[in-house]
């Protein structure tokens, strides 16, 4: 028999999880959306489409820019994010 | 959901890149295969980079905590390891493209292996951050 208190506790936990996901959803969505062209290109290759030198140059430029973004330094650790 | 999709895409790209290295009978066909190989690994790398950027965009975990369903956060140590691996992967992929462009008929097996290896490291670190 589930008690009202247990139901309330479950709802509170669910709310915490949903709030956490909503908070970071834009970042995750950006990551998924920006991966789409790469996934489509892989699908094209699997489907028999041949790559061109121009496509390779364009993808390399895009990837290098995205890597630059990833390599930008993290904020210094003041001890609160030592993980 | 995001990580399995990204992982499948990376694996497909790597597999595809591996499948394209078979020696082919004519120079033209070989060039096409090399272009497809390079393009496949580039796009697998593109998925990995975007996954890494998405991971980096979430808040850093607080000291003493770790990522979980109720605590979506990124570990500083994982990001730092990814950055080191990403530098190597970028270098390897750029080297692969440069070699293929400068010498279209040269065997790119070694450069390809280096790029695949570097990308595998990135993928493993990404998986460890989950």
**Complex confidence, ipTM:** 0.79
Residue contact B93–A63, C-beta within 8 A: yes
Task: Identify which has the larger pLDDT, B105 or A67.
Answer: A67
Mean pLDDT of chain A: 87
First to last CA, chain A: 40
What is the structure's pLDDT at B7?
Answer: 55
Task: Delimit the domains of chain A by residue range.
Answer: 4-71
Task: Identify which has the larger pLDDT, A13 or B39.
Answer: B39
Confidence of residue B1 (pLDDT cuts 50, 70, 90): very low
Residue contact B42–A56, C-beta within 8 A: yes
State pTM to two decimals: 0.79
Option in B35, B64, B82 nearest A51 (CB): B35
Q: How many residue pairs from chains A and B have C-beta atoms closer than 8 A?
A: 154
Region label for B90, one of left (φ > 0), alpha (ψ between -120 and 50) or beta (otherwise): alpha
Nearest-neighbour CA in chain B from A4: distance (Å): 22
* H helix or E strand, kind and range, residue B107: none
What is the structure's pLDDT at B99?
Answer: 93
Confidence of residue B130 (pLDDT cuts 50, 70, 90): low
Nearest-neighbour CA in chain B from A3: distance (Å): 23
Q: Which residue is listed with tokens 């690994």?
A: B41
What is the structure's pLDDT at A62?
Answer: 96
Which pair of structure tokens corresponds to residue B35?
């272009």
Closest CA relative to residue A69, chosen from B56, B119, B122, B75:
B56
Q: What is the mean pLDDT of residues A20-26?
A: 74
Domains of chain B: 2-128 (1.20.120)
Q: Over 60: is that where the pLDDT of B20 sits?
A: no
Reduced 3-state DSSP string for B33-86: HHHHHHHHHHHHHHHHHHHHHHHHHCCECCCCCCCECCECCECHHHHHHHHHHH
pLDDT digits (tens, 9 = 90+) for A32-71: 888 999 999 999 999 999 999 999 999 999 999 999 999 9
Q: At what angle do helices A53-71 and B27-57 cross, to 10 degrees?
A: 20
What is the structure's pLDDT at B90?
Answer: 97
pLDDT digits (tens, 9 = 90+) for B44-70: 999 999 999 999 999 999 999 988 888
Mean pLDDT of chain B: 82
Q: Over 50: is that where the pLDDT of B26 sits?
A: no
- Residues A77 and B64: their CA atoms lie apart, in Å, by 14
Contact partners, residue B9, CB within 8 Å, separation at least 6: A35, A38, A39, A42, B43, B44, B47
Q: Over 60: is that where the pLDDT of B9 sits?
A: no
Residue contact A13–B59, C-beta within 8 A: no
Q: Over 50: is that where the pLDDT of B27 sits?
A: no
Option in B38, B50, B90 nearest A64 (CB): B90
Contact A72, B54 (CB under 8 A): no
């Amino acid at each position: 028999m589930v008690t009202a208190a247990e139901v309330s506790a479950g709802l509170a936990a669910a709310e915490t999880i949903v709030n956490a996901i909503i908070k970071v959803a834009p970042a995750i969505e950006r990551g998924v959306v920006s991966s789409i062209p790469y996934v489509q290109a892989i699908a094209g290759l699997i489907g028999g489409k041949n790559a061109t030198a121009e496509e390779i140059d364009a993808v390399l430029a895009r990837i290098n820019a995205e890597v630059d973004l990833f390599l930008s330094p993290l904020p210094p650790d003041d001890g609160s994010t030592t993980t | 959901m995001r990580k399995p999709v990204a992982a499948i895409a990376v694996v497909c790209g790597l597999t595809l890149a591996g499948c394209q290295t078979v020696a082919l009978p004519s120079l033209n066909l070989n060039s096409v295969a090399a272009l497809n190989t390079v393009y496949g690994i580039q796009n697998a790398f593109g998925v990995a980079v975007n996954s890494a950027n998405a991971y980096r965009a979430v808040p850093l975990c607080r000291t003493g905590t770790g990522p979980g369903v109720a605590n979506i956060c990124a570990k500083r140590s994982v990001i730092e390891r990814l950055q080191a691996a990403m530098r190597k992967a970028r270098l390897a992929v750029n080297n692969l493209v440069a070699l293929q462009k400068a010498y279209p008929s040269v065997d790119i097996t070694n450069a390809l292996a280096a790029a695949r290896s570097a990308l595998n490291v990135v993928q493993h670190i990404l998986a460890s951050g989950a």
